[in-house]
Structure 1
């Protein structure tokens, strides 16, 4: 472990100046990051090239970046001066640090999304195994949005930029743009009708690409031009593009328009994560802004289980009220605390009640269904329940209840409505209302990651860059939370846990003696 090297330097005495309750000192003493070296061992060559910086050091430098919202250059600068940073990194005060460019190379060549997932999982697992967290039974899920690191362009502007890029690469690779190709890009701003403006730019771009292909050999001598034309065609072939629901910037091709509410939207990405009620994030998934909440639910659930969490209750908002999700929660023996969604469950409970044992619906006038028909069309499945006709014939509410030529009432419900009825009744209980209040902790975590750790805006471009940012942010806030939990414990518990962790992290015997004295 890196911390062993601190004992070899005379200057390591300076670390005694760091307060015992400092966030980085607490985290470093209680969380063992040595597993990272084994995790990334296969991504390095042992026999060729210069020795690589230890992966544990690079991961810790990345954690510092997102913990304190620093750039690559700034984190190296701060870590060269700040004793707490050095202690956390496991280096001696006189040791040198890698060049900032190595952090970029590390993220690009060594660090894959799944690796960060495994780091998050292992850190939470250590906390569970050593009893740092107690409230592990309840798990919440939520999604937060992040604005893209570029502005949202209109389709007309995107097509103009694509045309300019084609001309740029063509000049670089061909020396000039052939005369047959019209370089005068239409001024779409002068066209008042937006639909006409889009069609004008689309026709111009398609004509330009065709003429470039006819007059230039693109196979080998013009790779960049060919790549840009292929990209332009891919964008134009997307039916969502002209409807302003597809690509909105060629700087960031992965970002998409998403919706916060019915009237507010954003342009960027969504981060979906699960969290235990001790405020530790257990799993993270990152997608573009058009992502539908809950699509990766099973993945997040499985990652949470890997942390050693025994889930007894699962909390989410209405977006997660779907049969597949409810079945997954029930499948792991947990109780779902998710409000009924009107989109999934449409029934007027003031007029109808349901008996699941007899599979019958009852109306307010005492009538009940006598038979059921399974209706299946190309796009939808439903049940049609038929009420007793004679009682409907003499019902005083007949005129407002039955339309058309039907004699008896026909109640058509979704395929999952009978099952959802039971959930709707459970949610009327006081027990559900009190438990559901626990989900509010998720909102505070959203605000913390955005306001203090930069998750409100993407640092780079593309889905992979956003995934790295979101997952390191989750890891950083987890470590901060661990430090808070440890510092809030009483003195006896603190010394006892410190002794246990010092041994489990293989500290030297001299270090153990110091801990006993302290």
Structure 2
């Protein structure tokens, strides 16, 4: 079920509103007034079903996502800091200071999966539009964008001898099957086990055993090659 609509508060006699005690010159306070929060209710309303428990407010989830990305925080860290920081709470749409967790940290993961890449692009577009409206970003700055991909983590694997032997053996077996050549023994199962043992022995600093398995792997490759 979608989030309940936020109704204007009539005020609390015993508590002060956050906008009365916070500095209006703070960056998060000013940014909260620049973002069009209503657009997210319209765009993300299609992700909710008509039945079930009411979801968390859309502004709360969007605000937590912005804070998490801006300050490089995990799901658990951004929720914990939300309790301690009144500017975080005002940015997420709270009128009074809250003393309880806004949501379970796992809810942020499920919410991002629900939005998908298109929804996350909408969040980015809203920040760019806020920067253009405030004058912090000039239209000329968006004419050319430079992306540095060297800082992105990648699954890097180094071409060790064992990996190269195993890869060459598997390639020869595939080519033999493609051209209809019958091999008396492919050694693929034994070679894979030997390659695993090479890595284990190298990690344990047992170099003599590692070289023995590496020699065995090289023999398997030679047999298939011949």
Give the structure-1-normalised TM-score. 0.29
Please report how far the alpha carbon of residue 141 of structure 1 lies from its aligned counterpart in structure 2 after TM superposition. Answer: 1.9
* Counterpart contact for 2:83–2:101, Cα < 8 Å: yes
Q: Is the 8 A contact 2:29 2:91 kept in 1?
A: yes
Q: Please state how far the C-alpha of 1:119 moved relative to its aligned partner.
A: 2.8
Higher helix content, 1 or 2? 2
Evaluate the alpha carbon distance shift between residue 133 and residue 81 of structure 1 in structure 2; reply closer, same or farther with a 3 A threshold.
closer
Q: Is 1:102 aligned with 2:107? A: yes
**Corresponding residue number in structure 2 for 1:60:** 63
User: Structure 1 pair 146/39, CA: closer, same or farther in 2 (3 Å)?
Assistant: farther
Deviation at 1:155, TM superposition (A): 4.0
Whichever structure has more strand as a proportion of its residues is 1
Please give the alpha-carbon distance, in whole angstroms, between the structure 2 residues aligned to 1:81 and 1:6: 23
Partner of 1:154: 158
Matched, 1:16 2:44: no
Which one of 116, 136, 139 corresponds to residue 136 of structure 1? 139
What does the per-residue CA deviation read over 1:65-116, in whole Å, with 9 as the maximum and x for residues that have no partner?
11111110010000011111111111232364000010111112x1211222
> Once superposed, what is the RMSD of the aligned Cα atoms?
3.8
| Structure 2 residues not aligned, in runs of 5+ | 167-187, 208-213
Q: Give the TM-score, by structure 2 length.
A: 0.62
Preserved contact between residue 64 and residue 75 of structure 1 (Cα < 8 Å): yes
3-state SS of 2:20 partner: helix
Alpha-carbon deviations, 1:246-288, whole Å to 9, x = none? xxxxxxxxxxxxxxxxxxxxxxxxxxxxxxxxxxxxxxxxxxx
Contact 1:6 1:90 in 2 (8 A): no
On the 8 A contact 2:131/2:137 being kept in 1, the answer is no
Match of 1:26 in 2: 30
User: CA offset at residue 156 of structure 1?
Assistant: 4.5
Residues 19/3 of structure 1: CA separation in 2 closer, same or farther (3 Å cut): farther
- Aligned counterparts, 1:301-450, within 5 A: none
Larger relative contact order, structure 1 or 2 (CA cutoff 8 Å, min sep 6): 1
Structure 1 alignment gaps of length 5 or more: 163-179, 191-196, 208-518
Q: Does 1:118 align with 2:122?
A: yes
Query: CA separation in 2, counterparts of 1:93 and 1:17?
Result: 10
Distance 1:2 1:123, change over 3 A: farther
Q: Is the 8 A contact 2:59 2:93 kept in 1?
A: no
> Are the counterparts in 2 of residues 18 and 84 from structure 1 also a CA contact under 8 Å?
yes
**Are 2:75 and 1:75 equivalent residues in the alignment?**
no
Task: Identify the residue that residue 329 of structure 1 maps to in structure 2.
Answer: none
Map 1:202-281 onto structure 2 (within 5 A). Answer: none
